[in-house]
Every structure is written in C-alpha cells, then in structure tokens.
Amino acid sequence: MTAAHHESDPLIKFLNELQPLKKEIIERVKTEIFKVSVRKNDLLPCVNDMDGDCLFFIVKGLVRGFIVDEGKDITAWLTDENHVIGSIRNPGTLKATYEEQFQALEDSELLILPYRLIDEMYAQFPETNILARKLLAIHYHVSQERSILSRIPSAEARYKQFKIGHPTIKFRVPVKFLASYLGMRIETLSRIRKKAKLEEKD
C-alpha cells in the first residue's frame, strides 16, 4: 500500500534531497503550502500573507524574473521545473533598488511558500537553517553564473554558453525574452540561432 499523493510532494522531495527532513517538518509543509496555476504570460500572483512576501517552487512550467527600467522590460533570469524562485530578502536593505516581477512563459503550476512560514520553521526547527544555507548557496551559484554570462563580450559566445547551461529550456523561451536576458537585439539572436542550426546540419 502506498501513501496518498500530496500536492507538496515535489517540493518535499527536492528539500529532502538537500537536507533530510523530520516528519514534523513534512507535516507542517503539507499543511501550509498550497498550489496555484498560472496561465502563460500572466504575472505570478501576489500573496496576501502578512506582508505579501513568499517564495515559489515550480512544479511545472517556465518562469522569468524581470525588472522595468525607464519603461524598458529587462529579463533578469529564466528557470523551469524543480527550482525555488522569488526575491531574496536582504536584512540590511528595506527596499530593493528595482522591484522584481515574475511571469509565467508557459502554463505553469507552482507551490507557494509564505515567508511567514519560513521564519516560523527557522525558529521551531533549527535544522531548517542548514537547509536555508544550502538553498542560498544554490542561488548564489546561479547568480554568479548569470553575472559571468552577462560579461562575455561576444553575443555568439553568450548564446552558446546559455545553451550549455540551460539545456532543458533553450528552445522553450520566446525569442524576445531570451534576447533581453542575453543582452542582445532580437535580430542578432535570430541570426545566431540560424547560423547554429546550419552548423549542426553540416
């Protein structure tokens, strides 16, 4: 006999692989976490939880983070299934320089983790702080990779590195958002992709 499936199972599996979780933690997660479905191109919902802060775990779909600077939409990151996303809080800064927004690029299913719950778990279960440090290390690594990618001078080399680093989403991202993420014009990206396809046929 197998245990009944719960909507939070993908998140629990992801976290448990990083740091083994007590039964009490798993039960708390199952009680507090909830799933939302977001249609393609819609912004991720604002959660009315205390101060509205939360993180998301992508069960299914593709999401981009972006900012708007002087009316220009700039894609800051792209990610897909089995990743935790959201604005990381900085204890030393009350307000971020840019307000980051999140948009589904495909019909997506996400689990919502309220920061209220996260803070309560830190206080009640000390081992969750170990888990938090591991998640932070993952986010730091991803951020470092994005920083390096943005500094590669050649547009063609940036696209090549993106394909290597993101094999599961390289053809799922709309051209305009991928071009924005890679810091190049849509025409430039289209030309590079066309050239890459021709080279693959040779």
Asked whether the beta carbons of 85 and 65 are under 8 A apart, the reply is: yes
In 10 A of CB 56, how many CB atoms? 21
Identify the band that residue 116 occupies on the pLDDT scale cut at 50, 70 and 90. confident
Quick one: pLDDT at residue 202? 58
Estimate to the nearest angstrom the gap between the alpha carbon of 1 and the chain centroid: 35
pLDDT at residue number 94? 57
In order, the DSSP letters of 11-78 are HHHHHHHHS---HHHHHHHHHH-EEEEE-TTPBPPPP-STT--EEEEEEES-EEEEEEETTEEEEEEE
What average pLDDT does range 87-91 have in this prediction? 65
C-alpha span between 95 and 15 (Å, rounded): 28
Question: For the sheet containing 54-60, what is the strand order?
Answer: 34-38, 108-114, 54-60, 84-85
Confirm if 87 and 112 have CB atoms less than 8 A apart. no
What is the pLDDT confidence band of residue 52, given thresholds at 50, 70 and 90? low
pLDDT at 127: 87
Q: How many residues does the chain have?
A: 202
Sign, CA dihedral 60-78-84-16, equals: positive
| pLDDT value at residue 11 | 93
Mean pLDDT of the 68-93 span: 84
Strand partners, 69: 72
Short-list 110, 192, 132, CA closest to 157: 192
Average pLDDT, the chain: 87
pLDDT tens, 140-156? 898 899 999 989 999 99
> How large is the average pLDDT for residues 87-96?
62
**What's the pLDDT score for residue 83?**
93
Q: Which two tokens stand for residue 128?
A: 């969750």
Mean per-residue pLDDT, 20-47: 89
> Is pLDDT above 90 for 46?
no
Pick the more confident residue, 48 or 70.
70
pLDDT band at 189 (very low <50, low <70, confident <90, very high): very high
Per-residue confidence at 49, pLDDT binned at 50, 70, 90? very low
